[in-house]
Structure 1
Amino acid sequence: MKKIKKYLKKIMLISFLLILGVIGSIIIADYLVVSKTESSLFENVTMIPTRKVGVVLGTRKILPNGYINNYFKYRIEATVSLYRSGKIKYIIVSGDNSTKEYNEPEDMKNALIAKGIPKDRIFMDFAGFRTLDSVVRAREIFGQSSFTVISQKFHNQRAIYLAHLEGMEVIGFNAKDVNIKYGIKTQIREKLARVKVFVDYLTGKEPKFLGKKIIIP
C-alpha cells in the first residue's frame, strides 16, 4: 500500500511539473511573439509603409453553420483598403487547397475581384497550409523577402515573428478582429500555435511543398 501511495505521489508530481512546463512555455512564447512584433504592426492605412506585395493569410470563407466567416470577410476588406490606398501593388492570397472542394486562395481571389481588384494583380499560393508555409513560400516561390502580411492582429504577430526568424523584413496590417466570444476557440488555438513556432524553428521545420518560382512583375 505504501509503495502504491509513493508511486501515485510520483505520478502526481511529474504531472504537475509537466503542466507547469506547458503553462510556462505558453506564457514565454506569447510574450516573445507580442514584444518582438509590436513595432511592425499597423492598423491605420495612412501610417503603414508602402510595400510592393501584400500576403493575405487564408481562412475558410463559409463556416460549418453556413454563415460567412468574419475572419475571411475582414481580411478581404483590409486588403482592399491597402490596395486602394496604394500601400500595396500586388497581392498573394495564400491558403489551403488540399481538396478540390476546399480552396481558400480561389475564394479570396474571387472576393477581391468582386471588390474591384484587377485579377492580374492577384497571385494564388495554393500550398499555404500553415502560416509557416505562407511566409516561407512568399520568399522561396514568389521572391518576396519584404512584404505586408494581412490578417487579424494575433495572426499577424505570429506570421511576423516567423518571418523575422527567417531573416525577412515583414510588417503587418491588422484586419478588424471578431467578437471575443465568437473567436474564443481560435484565440486558445493561437496560444498553442505560438509554442509550436519555436518547436518548428528548433526542429528545422520546412513548408510541406515548394515548387516552381513565380515571378511578380
Structure 2
Amino acid sequence: MKYLKKTLLPIALIIAYVLIVNSYITLKTKKSIYDTESKIPKNRVGLILGAGKYTSNGQINLYYKYRLEAAISLYKSGKIEYILVSGDNSKKDYDEPTNFKNDLILKGIPANKIYLDYAGFRTLDSVVRAKEIFGLNSITIISQKFHNERALYLAKHFNIDAIAFNAKDIKGRFGLKTKLREYIARTKASVDILFNVEPKFLGKKTEII
C-alpha cells in the first residue's frame, strides 16, 4: 500500500500542475481575446498561426480553413493592414506559410500585404520571431480560442502587446482530441518559459512595410 501511495503521489501532482496551468492561462488571457470582429481593436499586423492545409485523409483541415477565413475577414473590415503567416516549412513537400499565402491571394488579399515566416515550428517560435525578426511589439493573433490563449500567454511573457481573434472552432471527436492535446501543449509552454527556451532559429530581420 505504501508503494502504491508513493507511485500515485507524483502522478497526482503532475495532473494537478497540468490543470492549474491550463486554468491560469485561460484566466490570464481572457481580456485579450475577441470573438466579435466589430469589437476587436485595430492593429497593424495580424499573425496567423500555421496549420497544415490537409488532414491525413486528404480533406481540407478545418483549423486551416477557419483561420484563413478569420484573417480575410479582419483584413477586409480594416482591423488589420498586413498579414504575417508563421508556420512550418521543415520538409520539402510541406509548406504551411505558402499555402496560406496562395489562398489569401485567391481571396483578394494583395500579395504585398502578406509576409511569411517559414520558421514558425512551434507557437513559441512564431510569437518570439514576430517580435525579434519582424519587429512587431503589437500584434493580433489569429487562431482558434484554445490556441490563442496559449499564444497570448507566451506573447505577454515576451513583452508583446498582443490581442487575439478567435477563428471558428471545431466540435465533435476531432475537436475534443485537439483540446486534450492542448493541456500538454500548455504545460510544455509553461516549462519552456521556466527554462527560458528560445526559438529554433532567429536570423535576418525583415521589416513589414
Tell me if both proteins adopt one fold, taking TM over 0.5 as the criterion: yes
Superimposed CA distance per residue, residues 151-174 of structure 1 (whole angstroms, 9 cap, x where no aligned partner): 000000000011011111100000
Superimposed CA distance per residue, residues 80-129 of structure 1 (whole angstroms, 9 cap, x where no aligned partner): 00000000000100000001100000111111111110011000000000
TM-score, normalising length: structure 1: 0.94
Please identify the structure whose Cα radius of gyration is greater: 1
Could you tell me how far apart the structure 1 residues matched to 2:156 and 2:59 are? 35
Where does the alignment leave 5 or more consecutive residues of structure 1 unmatched? 1-8
Q: Is 1:138 equivalent to 2:124 in the alignment?
A: no
Paired residue for 1:122, among 114, 121, 130?
A: 114
**The residue matched to 1:182 in structure 2 has which SS?**
helix
Q: Counterparts of 1:1-217 in structure 2 under 5 Å?
A: 9-217=1-209
Q: Which moved more, 1:71-80 or 1:172-181?
A: 172-181
Q: Which moved more, 1:184-193 or 1:168-177?
A: 184-193
The AA in structure 1 aligned to 2:27 is: S
**The residue matched to 2:100 in structure 1 has which SS?**
helix
Q: After TM superposition, give the deviation of residue 31 of structure 1 in Å.
A: 1.0
Q: After TM superposition, give the deviation of residue 10 of structure 1 in Å.
A: 4.4
The alignment covers a number of residue pairs equal to 209
Superimposed CA distance per residue, residues 54-86 of structure 1 (whole angstroms, 9 cap, x where no aligned partner): 000001100011110000000000000000000
Where does the alignment leave 5 or more consecutive residues of structure 2 unmatched? none
Could you tell me how far apart the structure 1 residues matched to 2:137 and 2:114 are? 18
The AA in structure 2 aligned to 1:61 is: K
Could you tell me how far apart the structure 2 residues matched to 1:67 and 1:14 are? 47
